[in-house]
Amino acid sequence: MADLLEEQRESWGTRGGFILAAVGSAVGLGNLWGFPYKLYSYGGGAFLIPYILGLAVVGFPLLILEFSLGHYTQRAAPDAFKHGHKKFEMVGWWGIVLGFVIITYYPVILAYCFSFLWYSIQGIIGNGDLPWAGEGLEGVDKAKSFFFDNYLGYTEGTSLGAIRWNIVLPLLIAWVCMYFCIFKGVNLVGKIVWLTVPLPWLMLLILTIRGLTLEGSMQGLAYYLDPTWSELAKPETWRYAFGQVFFSLSLAFGVMITYSSFLHRKSDINNNALIITISDFATSFIAGLAVFATLGAMAFVTQQEGNAVGVENVAQTGPSLAFVAFPYALAQLPYSAWFSLVFFFTLITLGIDSAFSITESVLASIVDKTGWPRAIVLPVISLIGIGFGFIYITEGGLNWLGIVDGFVNGTRGIMFLGLMEAIVLGWLWRLSILRRHANSRSDWNLGRWWDFAIRLVIPIILGTLFFWQLFEDINNEEGFLRSPDGKWNAPNCVGVGILIAAPLISFIFSFIKSKHNDNTTAATTDDLPVKGRFIGLVSFLVAVVTSVFFIISMKSENSSINLAGFSALAIGGIAATVLSMYVLEKYDSGNCRTSWFARWAGIFGIMEISAFFARFLYEKSAAVTNAEAETVRSHELTGVSYAILVVVFLIIIGGLGWCFYRAIAAASKDEAEQHPDEVGDEPKELKW
Ligand code: PFF
């Protein structure tokens, strides 16, 4: 272990470099179109509840988990997981493979941005007109047709069609930019992000101020913020909110593990994670203000001209928000070409550091594992990425981009992997090592709540969402993979194919011989005495018996047997979880090993609890979706919207203020007191 900690690994240079790089990865295209669009579509201000909850309860604790794992092991994701146990390595690769899927399409969106940047420049050089500019509802059609017909040559359906040669050059430009940002290693990245993070913030601020000072902006904000509470009863709202948390914080793709593996040995973990979480949220929220204020102003202009275009006419999907609605809205306003230039340049600077963060994590994982030179691995990854990118620059490419994105970033993809991460590190590793490690160098200490979040709360939430999705897929009347009349559903088959291929490829990768011979930790191997076997065995049996009873009871026609089985699932789950938690709490941080029975009983128990909740919610949500009510949007900001604005700004300003205060307070303390560097110490806060 000592060798590992003292190894000279390349580093970010400064704490700021790391924070900005991680913020750069987190803050991306997802913030400017993903978040505002999802918020608008799933309940307006009400969406903030699942989103903030997701950030606080799942996103932030997982970010700390990833930072501490990367920092502790000083390895990119696969080797970092392998450090726990050889068998865990696959979990690391899994995220890398899914990340790789993202870098096949994310640069394609950057390519669109490069093209639209070029059109804006042409507008500036020419007579100031943008090629999609038009008025009223006809103008909307013109903007739509410019993006979908002229630019994408878009065709509906699942066939790919011809390659759009006009997008090839922009795609190559996107990849060349990414290449040059990372080819020299993270030290250079740490410098580039001083430009690619503050610059889009500045431009977002310009767009927000401009939007808010235009007449009619408030009606746009009403669309954005006025809550539709009934949306909270829909499963999609929760799934999209949690999915957006994962995507936005770049969680479970191995990026944050890799980035923190390059972090200086004495650097903070906990406070950095909080700063990054809040900054990411702030960017999303403010991006939404910019987008909807501008759309509101657009609606106002068109109303004045007697050819009204409502916000709902243009804000339909993520891509059309960025490449139809916003361009159209800007075209209605003075200096449109200039502001369009600012907008697309903002998108590029937002997206580029997210895109190269994934490439870097794939690259570092391969380099760490094989020892092959970066100078060879990076061009190979880039060429493969460009090759796959051609799929999405075809006439049907945007459809496939949406399909693949939906699977990878949804409950079945990345959130399932987040569940695996929490289970592996929470139940099969010694979580206390990571907490101790994080606390030993952070501005403030994590309490026991973090262990509970990783072991219980996160797996139960993600497990529930996963099973809920599973029940829906299984009971899908149209057939999820194949319809009752025998027709295959191509998008779902491809999506599921990717999701099944990811663990298989990861499994194969985990057999590649590593350049490093890291010892695994005492969590799984040593010759320490095993404790808690009896209670572990009992709880394991409880979990197995109740699960079997549940499955058998489901086959019965008798509703009271069904109910008994369902109740057994909950009772068995709770009993197994509580007992194994007790064993883990008692033995896991001492000089002994915790029985595997207890560990697996805990995992089993959590799955039972999740399945119970999921079943319950599935039945409830089926009722809600059937009786779906039409949402009526108001055109004026209500008192509740103002209250939401105030609360959100208080969270952002108060949260960041607190983080900076803690950082300054810690920096002014005695160094020695602040960083007891030994990892093998007893945890600071063992007591309840
Ligand atoms: N967080 C980025 C965004 O919000 O656009 C996207 C992203 C970057 C996802 C890196 C995943 C990742 F590993």
As a whole number of angstroms, the distance between CA 437 and CA 433 comes to 6
Are 59 and 455 in contact, with CB atoms under 8 Å apart? no
Confidence of residue 351 (pLDDT cuts 50, 70, 90): very high
Q: Is 530 helix (H, G, I), strand (E, B) or coil?
A: strand
Question: Which tens digits make up the pLDDT trace of 18-30?
Answer: 899 999 999 999 9
Q: What is the pLDDT of residue 680?
A: 42
Are 47 and 250 in contact, with CB atoms under 8 Å apart? no
CB of residue 24 inside a 6 A radius of ligand 1: no
As a whole number of angstroms, the distance between CA 663 and CA 53 comes to 25
CB of residue 250 inside a 6 A radius of ligand 1: yes
Mean pLDDT of the chain: 88
Q: What is the pLDDT of residue 679?
A: 43
- Sign, CA torsion 513/518/520/526: positive
As a whole number of angstroms, the distance between CA 298 and CA 118 comes to 23
Work out the average pLDDT over 443-464: 95
Cα 439 from chain centroid (whole Å) = 25
CB of residue 365 inside a 6 A radius of ligand 1: no
CB of residue 289 inside a 6 A radius of ligand 1: no
| Nearest partner of 86 among 639, 685, 525, judged by Cα | 525
Cβ neighbours of 256 (radius 10 Å):
29
Per the DSSP assignment, residues forming a β-bridge with 593 are 530
As a whole number of angstroms, the distance between CA 147 and CA 112 comes to 9
| CA dist list (Å): 159 to 318, 390, 394, 407 | 21, 14, 9, 18
| Nearest partner of 300 among 682, 643, 656, 635, judged by Cα | 635
As a whole number of angstroms, the distance between CA 49 and CA 39 comes to 10
Question: Which tens digits make up the pLDDT trace of 562-580?
Answer: 899 999 999 999 999 999 9
Question: Counting atoms of ligand 1 from 1, which one is nearest the CA of 249?
Answer: 1
Question: Counting atoms of ligand 1 from 1, which one is nearest the CA of 106?
Answer: 6
The best mutation among 35, 108, 189, 247 to test binding of ligand 1, ranked by most ligand atoms within 8 Å of the C-beta, falls on 247
CB of residue 59 inside a 6 A radius of ligand 1: no
Q: What is the pTM of this model?
A: 0.91
| CA dist list (Å): 590 to 43, 197, 462, 538, 600 | 48, 43, 29, 22, 19
**Helices 639-668 & 217-225, crossing angle to 10 degrees?**
80
The best mutation among 102, 108, 360 to test binding of ligand 1, ranked by most ligand atoms within 8 Å of the C-beta, falls on 102
Question: Which tens digits make up the pLDDT trace of 77-129?
Answer: 999 999 888 889 999 999 999 999 999 999 999 999 999 999 999 999 987 78
Q: How many helices (H) and strands (E) does the chain have?
A: 32, 2
Q: What is the pLDDT of residue 630?
A: 52
Question: Counting atoms of ligand 1 from 1, which one is nearest the CA of 26?
Answer: 1
Question: Counting atoms of ligand 1 from 1, which one is nearest the CA of 255?
Answer: 13
Q: Whole-angstrom distance between the N-terminal and C-terminal Cα of the chain? A: 29
Confidence of residue 634 (pLDDT cuts 50, 70, 90): low
CB of residue 31 inside a 6 A radius of ligand 1: yes
Work out the average pLDDT over 633-658: 90
Tokens of 612: 């119970």
Are 66 and 260 in contact, with CB atoms under 8 Å apart? yes
Are 320 and 140 in contact, with CB atoms under 8 Å apart? no
CB of residue 29 inside a 6 A radius of ligand 1: yes
Q: Take atom 8 of ligand 1 and give the residue whose Cα is closest.
A: 354
As a whole number of angstroms, the distance between CA 258 and CA 3 comes to 19
Question: Which tens digits make up the pLDDT trace of 122-180?
Answer: 999 987 789 998 888 788 889 889 999 999 999 988 899 899 999 999 999 999 999 99
Tokens of 597: 């029975």
Q: What is the pLDDT of residue 2?
A: 38
CB of residue 359 inside a 6 A radius of ligand 1: no
Instruction: Look at 319 and 405; give whichever has higher pLDDT.
Output: 405
Helices (H), 393-430: 397-408, 414-423
Are 23 and 15 in contact, with CB atoms under 8 Å apart? no
Measure 28 CA to ligand 1 centroid, in angstroms: 6
CB of residue 244 inside a 6 A radius of ligand 1: no
Q: Take atom 13 of ligand 1 and give the residue whose Cα is closest.
A: 250
Exposure string over 194-203, b if 16+ CB within 10 A, otherwise e: eebbeebbeb
Question: Which tens digits make up the pLDDT trace of 217-250?
Answer: 998 899 899 999 989 988 889 999 999 999 999 9
CB of residue 253 inside a 6 A radius of ligand 1: yes
CB of residue 409 inside a 6 A radius of ligand 1: no
- Sign, CA torsion 208/211/216/222: negative
Q: Which helix (H) or strand (E) holds 616?
A: helix 596-626
Q: Which letter does DSSP use for residue 92 in this model? A: H
Backbone angles phi, psi at 581, to 5 degrees: -60, -45
Lowest mean pLDDT among 79-93, 120-134, 255-269, 512-526: 512-526
Confidence of residue 628 (pLDDT cuts 50, 70, 90): low
Q: What is the pLDDT of residue 627?
A: 52
The residue count for the chain: 688
As a whole number of angstroms, the distance between CA 575 and CA 494 comes to 39
Q: For 563-648, where are the E strands, in sequence order?
A: 593-594
Cβ neighbours of 547 (radius 10 Å):
21
CA torsion 105-111-116-119 (nearest 10°) is: -150
Measure 283 CA to ligand 1 centroid, in angstroms: 14
CA torsion 364-370-373-374 (nearest 10°) is: -20
pLDDT at residue 476 greater than cutoff 90: no
278-282, 287-291, 638-642, 660-664: which is most confident? 278-282
Q: Is 531 helix (H, G, I), strand (E, B) or coil?
A: strand
CB of residue 310 inside a 6 A radius of ligand 1: no
Contacts (Cβ under 8 Å, ≥6 apart) of 100: 358, 362, 385
Work out the average pLDDT over 419-430: 94
Are 451 and 431 in contact, with CB atoms under 8 Å apart? yes
Confidence of residue 516 (pLDDT cuts 50, 70, 90): low
Measure 515 CA to ligand 1 centroid, in angstroms: 29
Lowest mean pLDDT among 61-75, 439-453, 474-488, 615-629: 615-629
- Give the type of residue at 92: G
Q: What is the pLDDT of residue 632?
A: 55
| Nearest partner of 30 among 86, 109, 145, 138, judged by Cα | 109
Contacts (Cβ under 8 Å, ≥6 apart) of 73: 4, 79, 80, 83, 261, 518
pLDDT at residue 272 greater than cutoff 60: yes
Cα 16 from chain centroid (whole Å) = 22
Percent of the chain scoring above 70 in pLDDT: 91
CB of residue 318 inside a 6 A radius of ligand 1: no
Percent of the chain scoring above 90 in pLDDT: 62
Q: What is the pLDDT of residue 557?
A: 86
pLDDT at residue 677 greater than cutoff 50: no
